[in-house]
Every structure is written in structure tokens, then in C-alpha cells.
Chain A
Amino acid sequence: MNLRNYTLKIWRQKDKFSPSYLDTIQVKDISPDMSLLEMLDVVNNHLITINKEPIAFESDCREGICGACSIVINGIPHGKERGTTACQLHMRHFEDGETITLEPWRAEAFIPIKDLVVDRTAFDRIQQAGGYISVNTGSAPDAHSMLIHKNAADEAFDAAACIGCGACVAACKNASAMLFVGAKISQLAHLPQGDPERKRRTNAMVMQMEKEGFGSCSNTLECEAVCPKEISTKVIAELNWEFIRSINN
């Protein structure tokens, strides 16, 4: 197999109090069948054997569903392949000898932890503000007591496919979280179960989003382009609609 070599330029940062710098690392003999993260594993294993600090980066499922991996690759969150997370990006998409720049998500709401790892709990707090339907365990009626139009269910699903990775924020010039918030609001707005709380939910989530320090939406559509689940900015329109509807609340 033809193995390849790369130059990595990586954002290193010890912790949130320390300044960051770009580290240059040469890597050799990388198989095109490796994923980008597996390439980083190789680098890290080597760094550990020579007692250097390995590159901190986040991953868990490594199949594009948990949303843990979060790297800006050559200026594009999750890299240039559409609909792909960093963990699913394979080295066959990089030319031999290429320089690959790896940076963390940058946003004031995402506090640096180390190297490529940032704190995304702001997302959790937005969800805690209202991203749920209030139903206690055991109190639900039979699932078939409520008919839901297939289209509505499908649209709710499309929005619910969000993996909460934060690429939308990372890619947005305003570090706006509207796609992320819109996805949840849209999911629940399409379903009759979500109706009773829709106004409260929208208000609470929008206010929390603002409090966390995310920017506003300039509708540049960058988020939709980098979203690994290809969630449409339609959910932002829906969020806007839910917001406008909730004004007289």
C-alpha cells in the first residue's frame, strides 16, 4: 500500500489560562485507510514513547454519532468532506505531503480545556433551559392514541438528528448556535406533544443561548454546510417563527 507523509500544524494549549501556539509535527507512513483520528493516535503513541505530551483531542464513538470529535481541519470544522465528522474522515482524502492544520472549536462560549478539547457544556445548559417535553415517567397514554403525520415525524427526525458537536458554532463568523438551538426547537415544534410548551421553550432556550455568549445569525449558511448531519437552516427559520409567535407571551 502507498503510505503517505504529512506535516501537521496543531493548536496546542496547556489549559484555559495558558496561551496557545501552533505546533508543527511531521508524520510518516500513514495509510490512506486510516481515519484522521487514527492518524492522531499514531502520533500520540509515538509522543508518549518519547515522553512528550500527546495531543489532546476528543472522540468516543468514532462513527459519527456521539458528537464528541471536534476539530477544525484546514479551516473547516470536521474537514472539507460534506456530511462527515472528523472521526469519519479518512486519510485518503489528503494528498501525500500535504500540510494539515488542526484547531479546536473557537468561541467564547466554548472554553478551552486543552489542545483541541473545549468545554461545550453551554450546549447542555441551553437544553436544560427548555429542550424537553414535560412528561413524567409512567404517565404516558398508549403510543397510538395520537396520530402523527408521517411528514411531521420525518421532519422532526431530520432536526433531531443533531449530534450536538458544535461545528455550526465553530464555522459561524458570529459563533452563533442558532442551528443547534433551532434543531431542538424544530423537532419539538413539529410534534403535537411539543405544542403546549412551545412558547416557554423557545423563550427559555433563546435567552440561555444569548446568556452563554453565542452570536446572532447572519444567515450566511456556513453552519448548514459544515453540519455533519446536514441539518438544514430551515430549522433556524422555524426557530425564528417560534420566537415571533412567542412574542405576545
Chain B
Amino acid sequence: MITLIESIESKICTLIESKISIVGSKVIMALTGACLTMFILIHLLGNMQLYAGRDIFNSYPELLRNFPISLWFARILLIFTFISHISMAVYLERKNKLSRIIQYNNELIPIGSSFASRTMLYSGFVIIAFVLFHLIHLTWKCFYVQNPNLDLYSLMIVSFRNPFITIFYILAQISLFLHLSHGFSSAAQTLSLTRNKLAKNIRLFGFWFAFIVTILYISIPVSILLRVIHD
């Protein structure tokens, strides 16, 4: 069994090496990353409706459920991009580790890179962990089985009154910020949109984009905690 998996794995790797190469693999990362970023934006729009009050917010999932085919299509697409993004990330990371097996004695001192850019894998893992938690928490509502009739709005309020959940949520958002603040311009570079003089601006834009998205996401639990949003 293990040998079978290994042989399949090595076949896939050779296929990627010969057809896609490390450059193409990064293009896949960038494309899937861009899709995920779009999802993050759409998801954010949905979340922002919390500020519009209970009724509007509660009607939003209803709205989605009215289009079951599109919804499933989107879900499958999302899962697919997620898996592609993660598997490419792991594939490249493994390759990259192999390109310098014996390290320097003194660690390299970064002079051009940002913290975010060096920690993409870690911020990525925090994001997965968060996504899983998020699904368990708000989609499958595993923590609230006693209470099946809780509407989404109340669920939010109940959850984020819990400081542990809020803190974890905020930490996850910070990871997302790190990931996106580098990821945005990185994807632009990988997709070669930075061939002109705009590269610096794109980097700046990416940073602020990530910052605003994160602030908006974080604003929700914080507003709930500070009772700006209340029952």
C-alpha cells in the first residue's frame, strides 16, 4: 500500500517536473491563491451584512441555499482550489528544502525579504487550522448541538462573546494578513503583472489590501465583544 502510494507520488512528481516545472507550479499557486483571495472577499461581503442587522444577515445563507447547484459548484471549486494550493505548497516546500540540505552555520540575515514572505507556509497552516475550526464551529455547529435552532446571527453573538474563540479568530486573521500581504504581490509577480514600473505600487497595494481585509474581518468579533453589535 505504502509503496503504491509512493510510486504514484513519484509519478506525479515526475509529471509535474517535466510538464509544469517549478515555474508552472508557482503559477498554479498564484492562480489558486487568487481564487482563494476572491473567496475571501466574497465571504467578507457576506460577513459585513452583520452590521445590517439580524434579518438581513440571517437571510444571506437562505439566499445561497436557493441556488443549490451553484452553491455546490462553488463549494467543489473551492475545495479543489484549496487542495491544489496546499498540495502545490507542500510539493514546492519539499523541493525547496532539498535545494539546500546543509545549511549555513550562521543563519542568513534577511535584507530584502519581509517576515511575511518567509513564513508563508506557517501562516498557511494556521489558515488551514482555522478553516477547519471555522467549519466545525459555524458551518456544522458542532459546539452548539444542544441548541439546534440557534440562528446564525445569535450564533455569532454567542460565539464571539467567548474571548477564547475571539482571540483564536483574531490570531487566524493575523495569519491571513501575513499570508495575503505577501501573497497578493507575490501572485502578481508570479503571474508577471509586475513587468512594468508598477511593481512597487502593487506591493504597497497588496499590503494595504491585506490590511483592510483583515481589519474588516477582525472588526466583527471585536464589535460583538465591545457590544457595538448586540442581540
Direct A–B contact in complex, judged by CB atoms less than 8 Å apart: yes
A interface with B by C-beta (< 8 Å):
9, 11, 20, 22, 72, 74-76, 80, 101, 103, 106-109, 171, 173-176, 178, 206-207, 209-210, 213-226, 232-234, 236-241, 243-244, 247
B114 contacts A220, CB within 8 Å?
Answer: yes
Task: Tell whether B194 is near chain A: CB-to-CB under 8 Å.
Answer: yes
Task: Tell whether B189 is near chain A: CB-to-CB under 8 Å.
Answer: yes
B interface with A by C-beta (< 8 Å):
17-18, 21-27, 92, 95-96, 98-114, 117-118, 120, 182, 185-186, 189-195, 199
By a CB distance below 8 angstroms, the chain B residues around A243 are: 21, 23-24, 27
A236 contacts B189, CB within 8 Å?
Answer: yes
By a CB distance below 8 angstroms, the chain A residues around B18 are: 207
By a CB distance below 8 angstroms, the chain A residues around B186 are: 218-219
What separation, in Å, do the CA atoms of A225 and B112 have in the docked complex?
Answer: 5
Interface secondary structure of A, over-half rule: mixed
A234 contacts B194, CB within 8 Å?
Answer: yes
B104 contacts A244, CB within 8 Å?
Answer: no
B27 contacts A244, CB within 8 Å?
Answer: yes
Min CB distance A84 to B, Å, is 12
By a CB distance below 8 angstroms, the chain A residues around B102 are: 20, 106
What separation, in Å, do the CA atoms of A138 and B17 have in the docked complex?
Answer: 39
B112 contacts A226, CB within 8 Å?
Answer: yes
Min CB distance A152 to B, Å, is 13
By a CB distance below 8 angstroms, the chain B residues around A223 are: 112
28 A-B residue pairings within 8 Å (CB atoms): A75-B104, A103-B104, A106-B100, A106-B103, A108-B101, A171-B112, A174-B99, A175-B100, A206-B21, A209-B22, A214-B22, A215-B22, A215-B99, A216-B22, A217-B190, A219-B117, A220-B110, A220-B118, A221-B113, A226-B111, A236-B189, A237-B193, A238-B195, A240-B23, A240-B26, A241-B195, A243-B23, A244-B27
By a CB distance below 8 angstroms, the chain A residues around B194 are: 233-234, 237
Question: Which chain B residue shows the least CB distance to A101?
Answer: B106
By a CB distance below 8 angstroms, the chain B residues around A247 are: 24
A75 contacts B106, CB within 8 Å?
Answer: yes
A76 contacts B109, CB within 8 Å?
Answer: yes
Question: Which chain B residue shows the least CB distance to A216?
Answer: B22
Our pick among A206, A237, A244 for the contact of B189 (Cβ within 8 Å) is: A237
By a CB distance below 8 angstroms, the chain B residues around A214 are: 22, 99
Interface pairs A-B: 3 shortest CB-CB: A225-B112, A241-B192, A220-B113
A22 contacts B99, CB within 8 Å?
Answer: no
Q: A219-B185, A224-B112, A236-B189 are in contact. Are A108 and B99 (CB under 8 A)?
A: yes
Q: A176-B99, A233-B189, A237-B194 are in contact. Are A101 and B108 (CB under 8 A)?
A: no
What separation, in Å, do the CA atoms of A171 and B111 have in the docked complex?
Answer: 9
By a CB distance below 8 angstroms, the chain B residues around A237 are: 189, 192-195, 199
Question: Which chain A residue shows the least CB distance to B187?
Answer: A219
By a CB distance below 8 angstroms, the chain A residues around B110 are: 220, 222
B189 contacts A240, CB within 8 Å?
Answer: yes
A221 contacts B100, CB within 8 Å?
Answer: no
A213 contacts B99, CB within 8 Å?
Answer: yes
By a CB distance below 8 angstroms, the chain B residues around A239 are: 23
Our pick among A106, A171, A216 for the contact of B92 (Cβ within 8 Å) is: A216
